[in-house]
């Protein structure tokens, strides 16, 4: 499974002291212990990530381990511009996430921004035949989607970390 994690919930995925960690821990486990990968990309996502340096460093370490897929910035930015042209609502501030979904084909998006749901679910943003992603918020309702058959082409090959790699990365996580 590939997953896009909105910057607003990176703490929930990687910090055991975060109030939402119990719900998002399956995402971390899927990436560290399974065949999952984190998908990132585009100018806006990169800018948002720079503002949370602690998690930017963790993602850089995951990238070294082959557990991050970096989408081509120009492709995501192009999709974002097209999406912004289709929606004029002033409350729409996450077109970059939809652009990442369009570019990658990812089926799961983690986000705590419920305002964005109505936009993320709009079919007008996705190519014909492509469904909007599942918005992962709770382990109870969404952990069943963390399966190998939800791994899309951009996330191939489906590699797992070695025990040593997992241990090294885990030592970098917030205590």
Would you write out the chain's pLDDT as a tens digit for each of its 175 residues?
Answer: 789 999 999 999 999 999 999 999 999 998 998 888 999 999 999 999 999 999 999 999 999 998 999 999 999 999 999 999 999 888 899 999 999 999 999 999 999 999 999 999 999 999 998 889 999 988 776 667 776 666 666 766 656 777 887 777 787 787 7
Q: Are 137 and 23 in contact (CB under 8 A)?
A: yes
Looking at domain 2-153, its CATH superfamily turns out to be 5'-nuclease (3.40.50.1010)
How do residues 112-153 score in pLDDT, each as one tens digit? 999 999 999 999 999 998 889 999 988 776 667 776 666 666
Locate the domains of the chain by residue range: 2-153
Mean per-residue pLDDT over the chain, rounded: 89
pTM: 0.86
């Amino acid at each position: 499974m590939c997953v896009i994690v909105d910057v607003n919930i990176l703490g929930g995925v990687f910090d055991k002291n975060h109030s939402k960690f119990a719900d998002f821990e399956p995402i971390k486990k899927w990436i560290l212990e399974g065949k999952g990968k984190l998908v990132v990309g585009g100018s806006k996502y990169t800018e948002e990530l720079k503002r949370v340096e602690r998690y930017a460093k963790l993602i850089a370490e995951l990238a070294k381990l082959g557990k991050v897929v970096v989408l081509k910035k120009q492709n995501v930015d192009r999709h974002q511009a097209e999406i912004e042209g289709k929606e004029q609502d002033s409350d729409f501030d996450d077109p970059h996430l939809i652009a990442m979904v369009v570019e990658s084909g990812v089926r799961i998006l983690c986000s705590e921004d419920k305002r964005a749901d109505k936009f993320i679910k709009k079919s007008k943003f996705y190519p014909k035949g492509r469904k909007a992603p599942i918005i992962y918020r709770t382990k109870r309702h969404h952990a069943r989607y963390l399966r190998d058959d939800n791994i899309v082409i951009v996330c191939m090959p489906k590699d797992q970390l070695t025990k040593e790699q997992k241990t090294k990365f885990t030592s970098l996580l917030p205590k």
